[in-house]
Structure 1
Amino acid sequence: MDKHLFVVTIHLIALALVAIAVLIRSKPLWMTKPDRSESPATKKLWIALQHLGLTVLVISGVVLLYFNQFQMQPWFYAKIILFVVMLSALSKAFKKDQSILLVQRRAGLVIGGVAFVAVLGLVMIKPVFG
């Protein structure tokens, strides 16, 4: 198997892992009544899987940049900015701070979701600027 294809596959698996972990972790924030049925061990597992997915996503992205001799298209910079926006919004949504209101957490999830979809759109479309 080609090294590039292998790293792209790992990158896509990490992307799917992040998406699934964020969706499952965000479920309690959208419920009208708090759900106490999830055990703390399960919650920690989803947190760990989200962090693992994001870490593998960043590392595999850097490896893919290395394979491409760090030659970046202009849309790539927008992708990086949107990725940072997504990380920031999701960290606000899932932060262990009781002073953060539920509406702020939900807004963080929405902003993070929009940024996630925008990154996917940029990757699929690969627009030409200028």
Structure 2
Amino acid sequence: MDAHLLVKIVHMSSASLLILAIVIGVYALFVGTQGDQPNPKTRKFFVGLQHFSYLLIILTGITLLFMNHFEVKPWFYAKVVLFLVVISSLLKAFKKDTNILLTQRRAGMVIGIVALAALLSLVMIKPVFG
């Protein structure tokens, strides 16, 4: 197995970890909430798994960029923007701030899920622009 394929497999596996982390995050926002805060027990596990998957996605993504000599398709830039939307919306959903309402947290989670679904569909379709 060559190195490029191995890094690609780790990249896709870390994306699967992120999906699992988001499912756990949805559970934390709907079951066992305390006031406007997510479930504290599952929140810690969610945040740890989320950070680990983000780290793997970013490191393997940069490694793949180096391996491809920074030659990317035009849809790659949309992929990066959608990834930033996922990160920022989940950051809003799980930020330790008592001023954020539970409905705002849930809306951030929905935005993150929609952006992740768009990102995954973009990767599967790999559209040709122009």
User: TM-score of the superposition, structure 1-length normalised?
Assistant: 0.89
Gaps of 5+ in 1: none
Gaps of 5+ in 2: none
Residue number in structure 2 paired with 1:120: 120
The aligned runs of 1:13-24 (5 Å cut-off) are 13-24=13-24
Residue number in structure 2 paired with 1:94: 94
Identity, in percent, stands at 48
CA distance in 2, matches of 1:48, 1:81: 23
The aligned runs of 1:58-69 (5 Å cut-off) are 58-69=58-69
SS in 2 for 1:13: helix
CA distance in 1, matches of 2:67, 2:112: 28
CA RMSD of aligned residues (A): 1.7
Q: Which is further off, 99-108 or 45-54?
A: 45-54
Q: Deviations over 1:14-38 (max 9, x none)?
A: 111111012112213134x637xx7
User: TM-score of the superposition, structure 2-length normalised?
Assistant: 0.89
Q: Which is further off, 45-54 or 118-127?
A: 45-54
Shift of 1:114: 0.6
Q: Deviations over 1:54-110 (max 9, x none)?
A: 111011001111111100111000000011011000000011111001111111011
**8 Å CA contact 2:28, 2:43 repeated in 1:** no
CA distance in 2, matches of 1:127, 1:7: 23
Q: Does 1:11 align with 2:11?
A: yes
Runs of 4+ in structure 1 over 4 Å off = none
CA distance in 1, matches of 2:82, 2:33: 31
Residue number in structure 1 paired with 2:49: 49
Question: 1:60 corresponds to which letter in structure 2?
Answer: T
Q: Give the aligned length.
A: 126
CA distance in 2, matches of 1:109, 1:127: 26
